[in-house]
Copies of this chain bind each other. A is one copy, B any other.
Amino acid sequence: MSTSSIEKDTLPFGSVAELTEAIEIVLRYIIPFLHASEDDYEALTTARHLSTGCYYTGNNLESYVNHPEQLRKLLSLDLPSTGRGLEDIASSTSALLQYSINTSSPGFMDKLWSSPSIPGIAADLLLSALNGNDHVFRVSPALTLIEKHVGEELAHLFGLNGPYSGGINVPGGAAANNTALLVARNVRFPHLKDHGLYGTSSPRLVAFASEAAHFSVFNAAQVLGLGSDFVKKITTTVDGCMDPVALKQALDATVVAGEVPLFICGTAGTTVRGAYDPLENIGKLAHEYNAWFHVDAAWGGAAAFSGKLKHKLAGCDLADSIAYNPHKLLGVPQICSFLLGKDMRTFWYANSLTAGYLFHQDDSIPPSNVFFSPTGSASTGVVGISKNPAKNALDGIHSNWRTSKAIRDAPDPRDVYDLASFTPQCGRRPDAVKLYFHWRYYGAEGIAKQVEGAYDGARYLAQLIDKEPWLRLVGAVNVPCTQVCFYYVGTSLQVTESAQEMARQNTYFTCLISTGLMKRGWMVDYAPGSGRNEELGAFLRVACNRMTTPSVVEGLVQTISEVIYTDIDNTRTNGGKY
């Protein structure tokens, strides 16, 4: 190879001056985009309507949601042979803003995240420029220390105060739930790591979550080879919370069937209705039945920042693991997601591959069919367990794995700096830095104020909807989180006694209102009803957020009324059928 063919004097891919220009170009385009959301806010405050709303360039984007092929034609998707340089940064940025949803608009109430925070965006820019990686300390010293510290502080915020508590970044809430189940499985049955789940020597492992839990909990069981059938869906009470009586029954049935209650997931803020499961009750049952207690607080965990709201999370101190996503209500830009642990040695033990010699059953604790409760008292579990040979397969699985020798022998997590050893991932963007910037920018008090504002906004919205004769709330007016769910119950509904027909009508009008809002710049999603009397067919679900001040609430309710008065009446006048 001749060296003369290679230029010696110029960098092959651009200069810092070019980078500066590229960032300034992006900034130039995003400023008016984000200003539009300020205009929205201003227009709502003064006149109760949105200025541009979620569709920066007008309502036409709404139509593309159902016709992606039309949008494709408008986008320049080609990937050329010859580079276009800075010119393309401008045109691509402009096009992408033109055809994207403006999640910073106060009208965006469709999903459980919303406008990105200022310090979060700044931190993300810094992370991109640093291009660090939190897998090993050697190449990311400061980034690692920040992730460790933020994980520990979050764990404390949720009541996990033991010496080994902490947290780790994961690539989203689904990954958090998946990793939690993985840790539970491997800590409890270490031989599965090497040998897999085959054969009769492996007892059936059962997980439990409410029927309103996130789909990723059920998916985690299929991914990990446990089978999604073996996540028992526990019924909810009328408020959408897991029924602890039903949970206890399911646990007993599992034990009687000779299966192992491995993992109980309580949800703090369900995806649709925002219900907080009774975590203290669930956590006590988990300890009584010797199961891993996981709390999916990906959404509702934001309450931990508020002195007024954190009572909703009572019981989290019993958790072995907690999923929490600052990229949801807090507004840290995506992705920023954590899996917190009461004892991070379990994370290390479950994920460490190279230290295979550690991964054996702990024989220091004799097999027993006695469940260990956290208080030290023991209940004898279920009658007959030791009499039935099939159930004797459970021998050895009731050991107190939380304090097993293997866990005690694991390294002190405070001294582990190569963070990839706590997770099944390898390379990881140091997302914790975004929360670090966010936390220091607003302070815990500032974050609390924003979180409380979102919860207050939802309660105010629920109050206004409760007063509207043509709307009916799903659930009580005192909503548990920031979602407000409701049906249209106006005069356009035809009288029917058929639940099926009622569901069809409800779904029709729900979609009509969602579309009507969309045309007016708002985005409000809907969710399928459970099929119970109070949830027949799809209903509207407004996700309030940091932007949801009273003016926003009032503007939304006014627009819903407008949709009902115009779009729904028009439908009838035009002979439209639902």
Contact = CB atoms under 8 A, between A and B. Distances in A.
B12 A449 contact: yes
A122 B441 contact: no
A468 interface: no
> Looking at chain A, what size class is its interface with the partner chain?
35 or more
A440 B88 contact: yes
Interface in A510-536: 523, 525
Nearest to A41: B11
Given A20-B31, A27-B20, A139-B110, A549 B8 contact: yes
B440 A126 contact: no
A161 to B, nearest CB: 15
B335 A218 contact: no
A291 interface: no
A571 interface: no
Nearest to A103: B131
A412 to B, nearest CB: 12
Contacts of A100: 130, 132, 140-143
A104 interface: yes
Interface of A is mostly: helix
A192 interface: yes
A15 B1 contact: no
B171 A172 contact: yes
B12 A219 contact: no
Contact of A121 (B22, B96, B196, B460): B22
Contact of A227 (B12, B29, B196, B445): B196
Interface in A1-36: 1, 3, 6-9, 11-16, 18-20, 22-27, 29-31, 33-35
A199 B200 contact: yes
Given A8-B45, A219-B353, A141 B22 contact: no
Contacts of A456: 1, 6
A43 to B, nearest CB: 13
Nearest to A65: B138
Contacts of A117: 13-14
Contacts of A7: 549
A231 to B, nearest CB: 10
Contacts of A219: 353, 424
